[in-house]
Homo-oligomer: A and B are copies of this chain.
Amino acid sequence: MEQVTGDILQVKYALDTFYFLVMGAFVMWMAAGFSMLEAGLVRSKNTAEILTKNIVLYSIASIMYMIVGYNIMYGDAISSIIPGISFGLGLDNAASAVTGADGAPYYSNLSDFFFQVVFVATAMSIVSGAVAERMKLWAFFAFAIVFTGFIYPIEGMWKWGGGFLDQAGFLDFAGSGVVHMAGAAAALAGVILLGARKGKYGKDGSVHAIPGANLPLATLGTFILWMGWFGFNGGSELIVSNVDEANAVAMVFVNTNMAAAGGCVAALLIARLWFGKADLTMALNGALAGLVSITAEPLTPSPEMATLIGAIGGVIVVVSIVMLDSKLKLDDPVGAISVHGVVGIWGLLAVCLTNPDAALSTQLLGIGVIFAWVFAASFVVWMIIKVVFGIRVSEEEEYEGLDVGECGLEAYPEFSTSVK
């Protein structure tokens, strides 16, 4: 009998671990999504560079989080604010522990690491799009090291590592705040220090559009992100191996899908009404906004409510993109600050609509704390990099394109034309 119970626990452990790994692989896939989205929304002369940034940032994130980030976020903390520091990954669970007493582990520690490491890469991917087409490649990598090794893990510890935000009752299921708004805050600090692309704003304050070179890529990127998000939110339930948890994961999948659908349709409608055209890039940003909106709470809303939350996110993102672009003159080529930052805040607030455990004040506290920390810390780091190495390429390199300047090659050597 004990043998049988042990066997069942082992199977559950295996199922939960496998679930975690599959969901993690889906999230890893989001790295490809960000790459394609960003590569599609920049000009052809800066495409190889943004691709280099994306694949290398994912690699840097993996390495830094393994070395120190994971332990900062989930290791023994000094206090609920100050994390401890230690290095490397520990051993996995023994079979005996799993079949042991109450509170036995549900899944492999390493599967947990895998799931977590793809999250930090997601946060960092948000940054690359916003600073595209003008930031130095190696300055970006320097920032990536600090962000993925320290800035993100510290605020991550405050919430998911059981720190003070968690204790205060701040709710963020899969990371509208911890991941998305954090990435956007780091991006915002970078964009402010970096300035707009040459030619984006006329001397007379006029705003010029700089169309992305390859919209099929951008669309592919959005679909990849949409798919990967099933892992992002679906895996954040952490367990699947009993009826209640399985139902919860199913609910998360459905709501994630519905919010994206709502955001996509809403953004397209707004764009159509406002600009007179069905701006594809807005539909794409709308779908992503729907996904960000639901990420803080994909479990408690009904599917209808999730659609609505996503749709509101879709409206917000269009308004925010236009405002940041034309009023605040913050040049964000892919709309990352709006999609992940502004809509991330909406997502955190929307938790209060359906989750009885949420309190508006605590949600605001969380938003304020995460934003303040990430923005301030990032600002300082960008500033140091700016002073020491410089963060912006020369004007000439910007005209010629970063591909040739930084990477020594062209993304489309046979297609691209000389103008623009």
Contact = CB atoms under 8 A, between A and B. Distances in A.
A251 B284 CA distance: 36
A35 to B, nearest CB: 6
Contacts of A264: 55-56, 58-59
Interface in A7-49: 7-8, 10-15, 17-22, 24-26, 28-29, 31-32, 35-36, 39-40, 43-44, 47-49
A10 B242 contact: yes
Given A95-B244, A230-B25, A59 B249 contact: no
A8 to B, nearest CB: 5
A346 B109 CA distance: 29
A395 B104 CA distance: 68
A394 to B, nearest CB: 15
Contacts of A39: 216, 219
A224 interface: yes
Interface centre among A28, A213, A275, A412 (most CB of B within 10 A): A412
A181 interface: no
Interface stretch (A164-172, A299-307, A356-364): A299-307
Nearest to A21: B253
A280 interface: yes
A305 to B, nearest CB: 11
B59 A275 contact: no
Given A55-B287, A60-B265, A247-B93, A216 B257 contact: no
B62 A257 contact: yes
Contacts of A54: 219
A284 to B, nearest CB: 7
A177 interface: no
30 contacts: A4-B5, A14-B246, A17-B250, A18-B19, A21-B249, A31-B223, A35-B219, A44-B414, A48-B280, A51-B219, A54-B219, A55-B222, A56-B268, A59-B264, A59-B265, A67-B304, A88-B303, A88-B304, A89-B303, A92-B251, A93-B247, A108-B249, A114-B257, A211-B409, A214-B216, A277-B408, A277-B409, A278-B407, A279-B407, A414-B419
